[in-house]
Structure 1
Amino acid sequence: MIDQKPRYVLFPGRHHLLTRFQADYLHRLASESEATIVWAVTSANHDNTRRNPVPYHRREAAIERFSLLSGLRSLVVPIFDTAPTDAFAEVTLKSIAVATGIDLTPDDTVVACSTPEVAKLYERIGFPIALVEADPELRTTPERPWDVLLRLAAGDEEWRKLAHPATIDVFERYRLAETVRTVVEDPLVGDEGGLTATRDYRTYVEAFADAAERKWSAVRQYVRPGRIVDIGCGAGSLLELADREPGLHESDLIGVEVARHLYTECVHKKAQGVFRNANVYFYQRNVLGGAIFADRSVDTTLTFALTHEIWSYGRQRESLLQFASRIFDHTVPGGVWINSDVCGPDDRRREVLLDLATDDGANPEQPRTDLAELSSGEVNQYVAGLSTRARLDQFAVDFAFPFAFEPAGEGTVRLELGAAMDFLTRKDYVDNWLSETKEQFCGLSFAEWSDLLAEAGFELDAASAPIRNDWVIDNRIAPVASLTELDGRPLAWPSTHLLVVARRPRNS
């Protein structure tokens, strides 16, 4: 503890969970001078992520109840997330001044903070520091709130002994314990509420929006009116087209998106009046984390360019089967799941010869192993400057699903057909190289997809089929690559995508 008698105690942090220790510590810190605790709640605009599983308004409610039960006078100020900056302390102080009219200074304020990196930012501009859980004068080291939250997520009931009654009360009333467990233990969602930390969402949204009309025209005839759910809805571009369909004007249009950046854009569009249908809703959820919709309650489920991500970031077939089973459960008898995505060739394990251009870029002696340390612009520039053959070497280093290949002549390699197509369909994604190389396009063939859907209980409509994207073949692949059998005979380009129209049997 420190000797000063402050008017204010600034307590910055995410404050998802409050502890009994914090109540005792803050009471001792503030009681002599009757100081006001200023709770700077960081990441106030984030929720449903591993780093921020509890929304700000619930955190604020717990803090207010904590203050009442502890006899502490408090002010609660939301601090919106910003890009990492050495001026974090100054930004926080300015946010507090704007919200409360109070200019906190080193003369009247002690900063309570147990995170050394954050404490140093305040110490650098003259504020005295109280180290809370890291206070060297404590006889024993108490558990930090995040550690207690992890106990909760793991199902360890010891968390109730460590958490303050205010947190327990709010968590129980709003059933937050299960929400925290789902988000923190989610096998797919990253710390910041997305599948990957390396994706450029701007280019991702632009690419999906450009293709939305083509995708919608391919599936609209199979959409069953009623409750229509687009899982992995991105920025909502497909639902915008569904919103314009006269035959769906009485349907509920529901978008589900796990990535925080995209979900926020959906909510913004709705607020701006983009949708004419009043019954348009968006949820930031991960279907694998638990059921979102009641059994037999959804007429049509749409998924576009999503299932390969579940395969890639989850446990491959196990996660896909779990996903398909959840969709089956929430589909009404006679309802439909329409899935459009990439897929692998039927004979993806057969060995082939792949001949690649070597004169369309640089051919370094070795691929780089340090791309993760570079900026996205530097990665883009480097990969874009490689020849197609050299890009295969780089792909093999960065790809999350290892494959073997061996040279078979200048520019030619011997490898499995599935690995060849994974590379060829990904080689031009230089804007999101480190994200795209974490995903496998050719994990399942159409036949294997059919088996999985039958296992989940679905029946395939006759419209379901593997598809070859000839535009990609003609414009991106064939100019720089060719496939042959091992004996040199030309090999036709295989399927690259699939369209699945899967129905739940009416008697199920």
Structure 2
Amino acid sequence: MYLLIPGRHHLLTDFQFKYLNRLIKCSLEGEKDASGHILATTPIEGVIFAVTSANHLGTKRNPVPFYLRAMIIQEFSNSLDVPAYVYGIDDVGVIHDFAEYTIKTIRHSSEGAHALTPENTVVICSTSVREMYMQRGFRILTAEWDTTANAYTQPMPWDLVHLIAQTGDWRKNKTVLEQLHPAAFKIWSLYGVGEKVQQILKDPIIGADGDLTATRDYNVYVKQMDDIAALKYRETAPYIQPGNIGDIGCAVGSWIKMGCEDDRLHECDFYGIEVSRHLYDICLQRKHNGEFANPSVFFSQKNAVTSLVFEPGSMNTIHTSSLTHEIESYGSRKDLISFIQNRYQELVPGGVWINRDVVGPENRTETVLLWLNDQDGANDLPMPENHTTQTLAAWLGQLSTKALFHRFAQDFRHAEGYHLAHQWVTIGDTTYCQLSMQDACEFLFKKDYHDNWLSEMHETFCFWNFQDWKQALEEAGMRLDNLSHAYRNEWIVQNRLEGKVQLLRLNENEQPEAIPFPVSHMLLMARK
């Protein structure tokens, strides 16, 4: 008889060892299953650990990589009288019968050696997942769960993970020392797992599965990143200093891929940092496919806001693109300042941080008028019910510019509690929207992101202007290179703004007077 233990297994407890050891030593004698039936006395041939979410790491739901979890299990099992087998079960999203998927994966991974059935396997599971196995006829031992008391009577592994995350020196916490199995304590200490878990679980920005936002369509996003990769690289390449080159927020590695093809940089080492699990996985796949001409390319899934991601004083060039506004948007001003300070710490003296991103207008506090075209689309088209990302994008694309602004005013950073202050004024025969230049620019340079509207509505582009950035960088100890500049994206002006919107201010006669569209982007070269 086999014992199957499905779970994420980030750590193992002292109770789990004693429980398993008793089952093995006593051959299940007198044990009651979840239905209250006494199991037949049967020798145990082996224990099978099904490690779920094996393809996830560095996220709040799965902070510990699979290889460390497997090491803990093997160390834990050395004192058991039967062999232990470890099989990684990838996360595949929500499927109807994860138990069946787990059993099939084990059979495939073991090349048929472990074909688990209700006749040769007892499942140990204390969570609701046991229902899936019960439906397939497996007998269940509930371990920490007491079916009579309808409650947990022993510490759960994930509770200990949370305790460690909230404890300063977890190695001296009495509860941790009493409940954590020595094998888990050894691996967690040796590899600094506790400190990494504390960092990940306390992170205020990243979601449960390692993403900034849960509303982004990654198929669209990846295509957008690849489409503009050449532009990004051409714009930043002249300022790259050879040596150790890091790309933070590297998305799918497109900028690094082009750097690897640059003859000037063929002896450099490239380091890609990506917090999104989905994009990080793509980077690893591209490396596996041999898409990077330089073999010295390394990817890590880390959050560059809360800590350093490179060794202090080690980087000749750090590159970021379209990232810093997301830190302000999904985190806080404090997080953005920390991010800047971390980059300063990582650069060698004379090293450069190249930051390409959106930027606010110089006169962002000025009150302006905004003319909006109401003839270039529908004005009274009802919003689709139970919309998907695709149907919402299609609906937004049918609206007039004025109707689109009405939607924007309702949605923009609504979840963050922001209220877009504006009013409608009529001068002569024309109606304008009166608002701040900052809010006007938020709309101008965000209004056409229909494919990721829900995600974009969380993001602010214009919180700082170029001078604000200069001041913040200098306060962190950096010097802004004279080649740094803010600029206006003329393609956006010609293709998305002209004929649809117009910025105006009142002249000395209180009459609207058209003003040029302001800057929208910046290229900063900050040197240590």
- TM-score (structure 2 length as normaliser): 0.88
Query: Cα offset for 1:439?
Result: 1.1
Q: In structure 2, the residue corresponding to 1:265 is in which secondary structure?
A: helix
Query: CA separation in 2, counterparts of 1:345 and 1:425?
Result: 12
SS at match of 1:318: helix
Q: 1:489 aligns with which of 495, 513, 517?
A: 513
Unmatched segments (≥5 aa) in structure 2: 28-41
The answer (yes or no) to whether the contact 2:241–2:316 under 8 Å persists in 1 is: yes
Distance 1:254 1:411, change over 3 A: farther
Distance 2:225 2:86 in 1: 40
> 1:438 and 1:424 mapped to 2: Cα distance?
15
CA deviation digits over 1:220-277, x for unaligned, max 9?
A: 1111111111111111111122112222122212211111222222222222222222
Q: Which has the larger displacement, 482-491 or 235-244?
A: 482-491
Shift of 1:503: 0.9
Residue-by-residue CA offset, 1:326-356 (whole Å, 9 max, x unaligned): 1111111111111110011112122222222
- How many angstroms apart in 2 are the aligned matches of 1:271 and 1:386? 44
State the match for 2:489 in structure 1: 469
Match in the other structure for 1:4: none
* Larger CA deviation: 354-363 vs 343-352: 354-363
| Count of aligned residue pairs for this structure pair | 493
**Is the counterpart of residue 376 in structure 1 residue 376 in structure 2?**
no
Distance 1:365 1:217, change over 3 A: closer
Q: Distance in 1 between matches of 2:390 and 2:22?
A: 51
Matched with 1:240 is 257
Q: State how far apart, in whole Å, the 2-side matches of 1:34 and 1:374 are.
A: 55
- In 2: Cα distance, 1:414 partner to 1:141 partner: 62
| 2:523 paired residue number | 499
Q: Given the alignment of the two structures, is residue 408 of structure 1 paired with residue 425 of structure 2, yes or no?
A: yes
Task: Give the match's secondary structure for 1:408.
Answer: strand
Query: Post-superposition shift, 1:367?
Result: 7.0
Give ranges in structure 1 of 5+ residues lacking alignment: 1-6
Mean CA deviation greater in 121-130 or 335-344: 121-130
Q: How far is the alpha carbon of 1:310 from its aligned partner?
A: 1.2
Aligned to 1:285: 302
Aligned twin of 1:191: 208
Match of 1:42 among 46, 52, 57: 52
Worse-matched range after superposition: 42-51 or 70-79: 70-79
User: In the alignment, what sits opposite 1:391?
Assistant: 404
| TM-score normalised by the chain length of structure 1 | 0.92
Please state which structure has a larger fraction of its residues in helix. Answer: 1
1:9-57 C-alpha deviation (Å, 9 max, x unpaired): 2211111121122223333445423333221111101111111111101
- Determine the structure 1 residue equivalent to 2:354: 338
Alignment CA distance shift 1:443-1:124 (3 Å): same
Using the alignment, how far apart are the partners of 2:19 and 2:387 within structure 1? Answer: 43
SS at match of 1:431: coil
Contact 1:194 1:260 in 2 (8 A): yes
% identity of equivalent residues: 40
What is residue 20 of structure 2 aligned with on the other side? Answer: 26
Which of 439, 443, 457 in structure 1 is aligned with 2:459? Answer: 439
Q: Is the 8 A contact 1:367 1:390 kept in 2?
A: no
Q: In structure 2, do the counterparts of structure 1 residues 397 and 166 end up closer, same or farther at CA, with 3 Å as the change threshold?
A: farther
Q: Is the 8 A contact 1:196 1:435 kept in 2?
A: yes
Match of 1:51 in 2: 61
Match in the other structure for 2:132 = 121
Match of 1:3 in 2: none
Q: In structure 2, what is the Cα distance between the partners aligned to 1:422 and 1:435?
A: 14
Cα offset, 1:436, TM superposition: 1.2
Structure 1 residues 183 and 367: alpha-carbon distance in aligned structure 2, compared to 1, 3 A threshold: same
Q: Distance in 1 between matches of 2:240 and 2:131?
A: 57
DSSP 3-state at the match of 2:336: helix
Which of 121, 145, 158 in structure 2 is aligned with 1:134?
Answer: 145
**2:306/2:338 contact within 8 Å kept:** no
| SS, match of residue 514 in structure 2 | coil
In the alignment, the residues of structure 1 paired with residue 316 and residue 101 of structure 2 have an alpha-carbon distance, to the nearest angstrom, of 48
Q: 1:308 aligns with which of 325, 328, 338?
A: 325
Query: Max radius of gyration: which structure?
Result: 2
2:37 equivalent in structure 1: none
The counterpart of 1:63, out of the listed 66, 73, 77, is 73
What's the CA shift for 1:163?
1.5
